[in-house]
A and B are shown apart, each in its own frame.
Chain A
């Protein structure tokens, strides 16, 4: 272990993280759109001159590989020699530029010191609209990437220091809110420049060699740490199979089949057997798969490992062509997070067999279902309101799963009822936890969310989907599955329509409402081993009904009756 300088590594790692913190803060502080400003749907990363990820500021796991994809493909396609001092690149395309989906636009700034390229700093931000056929640009029913808004390969937005106003204008005018795009893109460019200056200052103060040696040490350390965690797991082959609910558009469920092979500190994830690419927009490009895979691996193997190039080294990923996880151009990819959640589920299931029980996690809701409303505000301006609804979290050996919480590749906040109702002509009729959705087990899953939203006026459009209705969270070690999603449409007279899976662009009348119940978290271990006290408490608190308790925990009810 003497090959690394442990002190310098820690000190410089802190300084580099200060730089990504600083750039992230500038992004959040100075951006105009709520996506970046409030939801922190953005990320910042520093790379060495070979494009190896050194450190990153990250709030949403889906964006782990966002900037990385842009940098790696930039070097691969353009070559380091073509990059001049003062060039800054913009890109978003999944097929050409390692992107995540068209809404996520990366700005990549090569950092030169004394005339030579030494680092890259990049940031990625979710832009609420990038054009295309539907406001907001992504929708699972779209069937081509061309429908999902403007595609940007690696382009120089700054050429040797000069902003390309024409390019900026062309991109902005291809979206529904050009002013917001221009403001945010300029902030993304300026934030990188601030980070580049900090990198130059750090290298000038402490010497480029010393900083770069510490970076290499950090990568060496991280890879060694990852391998050590993997070596603690028994060598072997572990498989899992999970399913989507549909093809994005109504259609058949698609399987994701995973074989995990662990051998002496290396791991491979082979997706052979995964179903053909979807007609709708739930396909995943390579870098979104990478983000989902590492979301699962971090959960299972080392939740606090630093995210850098070293972490990726022991892991090999095989993705058969033409499948959901490696689609042929120009398949739509805008809602890649739907499938990403199922990839995380596949990993948690496969690793549950390999891990000591106290580190396994039962599957969670594993959805990223939005409820989308379009209409007119009170002042006549159009509005679009989209929100991802969380579900129950899977149980762990000693703890019940959390109720109503975002999992996997997302961790976005809800919109509280009050600001929602102030801003839009909508009313939240219920926002609570659904009874009998917690997967039974020795420890039980978390409860699902009920989100029941009505319209106060005629003419609001609603779209949503009961993702997780056909693919509930499966329990582990004898635990039961989490509750299935369900969807209802309520008419003004109180009539309730049961909806199978989709509501697509349904125009609401005043007093009508859509009521979505998300999936619950799965249970862990035999429900027969749950204590009578725990069951009684769940009944007292109304998380489960007397009937549910009698069906799944008969032992406890008998005892209570005694």
Chain B
């Protein structure tokens, strides 16, 4: 049999990561190339060339998926295309008023971001349904044609169509879409009834508008990517990771680019979920520490915790997404003292350039990385397997300067900066766990990103997590996650009504229609029937509440559903109430194409722990962990399965550094993860 290769790519701001599995040999390769922000597909081409030059046959690439920040960056930099909005009369300012809240309680210089469509390009037309679907006023088709003329004259490149109650009564939206398609040939349209047919107009309009805003340039990017990979002789078309950690085809990604806003982090969570579940930790907290920020999220029963709504650069996006919480603390976060004597770490970051003082790229401000250099946790001579020299003396100098300002020793200060950063990270982890009522002592911490493994044990101590898992090549976790992702897409219909026999029948009918849509889509994506799955979720709440719970399952009887609803309320809120009416809100069908291969055990390597031993050096493990101690230093690549390393120790590898404090030890499991565990007693 021929070689069969699967390639996962994650496009980041600084590096584009690749993860490659040769399915015939089971051998995995992980590597990075510098990103090319002007056209991210160029870096992907460069990486694919490396693969081919290494002797792999491009035709052997069977699966090619990628996580991308193209959409997110377009929003952050506001570099989408000029977009028009067509909406119901009386509602053109929905995008501008948002939820009428200000982002900061007291600082009035902090504003909500301006809508993606300027007011003069937000046009209203007559036509109105009530919540029950009664047509109060027919669609004013002439007004739609007039609006089309205005859009044409203004040169918009995409149009969003967002009508009130179109989540269920979409006739006006559909008709307006037809007219616009006639009047504006070649201009992509995003209809709210198609993009995300869920009630609550602001979030739906925002999501739909963002989709329109992203469509032309996302299509251009994907076309360029296909061109480049075809030119290299790769036949597989690139799939794209969506925000809920599944893959979708190029065509779907072109139609719904808004679904890729959390593409990269979602792949990381999927990867972490697979790795931690295989290692015996189906409940875990992901802990991804980069240069400027830390992402944390929950894995519950082997799946990434999900949210139906979150902000992207200040704009709400309603679509299923991994529930990643981001805080402004990373390796490059700057430590500073304010004028009343408080020591802070972040949120300002020195970034990659000028970066930490110790990296010698012009940085002058002390960062978390500099504190780690001072304490000997990071290699004091060079990082990246010796290829990147560092300036430990420079790091020590700036730490000393800040120590003088708070009247502490340099050691106390470096330790203090790390403790403060760890306290910030810990607060974020506690926050996401209490939101869902989780007991962290039953969780593992999955640490990745360049700086995750460096702080993981300390964060675990702070929040009471007993085990830490450091996956292989933690710096390329997101690319690995792409390889472990299935094809998937969520389908939804809002249908708000009190639960009774008739409405239950209506819900089952909706569920049936959505399931048929989901199957049809899986067919289009080329998923064979035996790999197709659907999962049904009904969202419901007590009448009068605005928070719905998710009831998963295929129950047919209304009473069964009610019992499940009670059970979910018990799980989520700690109680249920029997004599209140229940209101159905949404029905969701998740379409899944099981294409991902399960994690395979890596081949054994012939080595002993001694082969991995590099050195020993003084490392400061924190005032509460014995301060300075002589730590043994290992290189990860030579650690055999079963190795057991007592702290204090440091394990170095190309893209990361793992610190094992005294009182902890680290073992290598059969998947080549390092599992850090607190010693008994």
> A residues bordering B, Cβ < 8 Å?
1-2, 4, 6-7, 9-11, 14-15, 17-18, 21-22, 25-26, 29-30, 32, 34, 37-38, 58-59, 61, 179, 183, 221-222, 224-225, 228, 295, 298-299, 303-304, 361, 379, 390, 393-394, 396, 398-399, 401-407, 411-414, 416-419, 421-422, 427-433, 449, 452, 456, 540-543
Contacts and interface: CB of A to CB of B under 8 A. Distances in A.
Given A21-B434, A421-B131, A6 B342 contact: yes
B90 A7 contact: no
Interface string B106-121: 1111011000001110
Contacts of B430: 18, 21-22
| Most-contacted residue by chain B among A18, A407, A411, A540 (CB, 10 A) | A18
A449 B96 CA distance: 11
B387 interface: no
Interface in B407-454: 407-408, 412-413, 415-416, 419-420, 423-424, 426-427, 430-431, 434-435, 437
B101 A412 contact: yes
Which A-B residue pairs are the 4 nearest by beta carbons?
A7-B416, A225-B340, A2-B407, A430-B90
B200 interface: yes
Contacts of A414: 97, 99-100
A429 B91 CA distance: 9
Contact of A403 (B97, B165, B545): B97
A174 B545 CA distance: 22
Interface in B108-142: 108-109, 111-112, 118-120, 130-131, 136
B420 A7 contact: yes
B338 A225 contact: yes
Nearest to B107: A303
Interface stretch (B49-57, B285-293, B571-579, B630-638): B571-579
A414 B545 CA distance: 15
B100 A406 contact: yes
Contacts of A37: 545-547
A421 B426 contact: no
Chain B contact patch, size range: 35 or more
A25 B434 contact: yes
Contact of B120 (A221, A405, A452, A541): A541
8 contacts: A2-B407, A7-B420, A14-B424, A393-B108, A429-B90, A431-B97, A540-B120, A541-B118
Interface of B: 89-94, 96-97, 99-102, 104-109, 111-112, 118-120, 130-131, 136, 164-165, 167, 199-202, 337-344, 405-408, 412-413, 415-416, 419-420, 423-424, 426-427, 430-431, 434-435, 437, 496, 498, 542, 544-547, 572-575, 577
B90 A432 contact: yes
A58 B106 CA distance: 12
A416 B423 contact: no
Contact of B545 (A32, A405, A407): A32
Contacts of A429: 90
B340 A221 contact: yes
Given A7-B343, A361-B108, A403-B97, 4 more contacts: A21-B430, A396-B109, A404-B96, A430-B90
Q: Main SS of chain A's interface residues?
A: mixed
A394 B577 contact: no
Given A1-B406, A10-B423, A25-B434, A422 B201 contact: no
B343 A6 contact: yes
Given A6-B416, A17-B427, A421-B130, A404 B97 contact: yes
B93 A416 contact: no
Contacts of A416: 200-202
A401 B102 CA distance: 11
Nearest to B419: A11
Given A15-B423, A403-B97, A405-B101, A224 B341 contact: yes
A417 B97 CA distance: 13
A61 B105 CA distance: 7
B498 A379 contact: yes
A38 B547 contact: yes
A422 B340 contact: no
Most buried by B among A7, A30, A402, A429: A7
Given A303-B107, A411-B102, A418 B90 contact: no
A360 to B, nearest CB: 10
B573 A413 contact: no
B420 A407 contact: no
A58 B107 CA distance: 15
A407 B100 CA distance: 9
Contacts of B111: 399, 402
Nearest to A61: B105
A416 B200 CA distance: 6
B339 to A, nearest CB: 6
A295 B431 CA distance: 26
A303 B120 contact: no
Contacts of A38: 545-547
A401 B108 CA distance: 8
B105 A21 contact: no
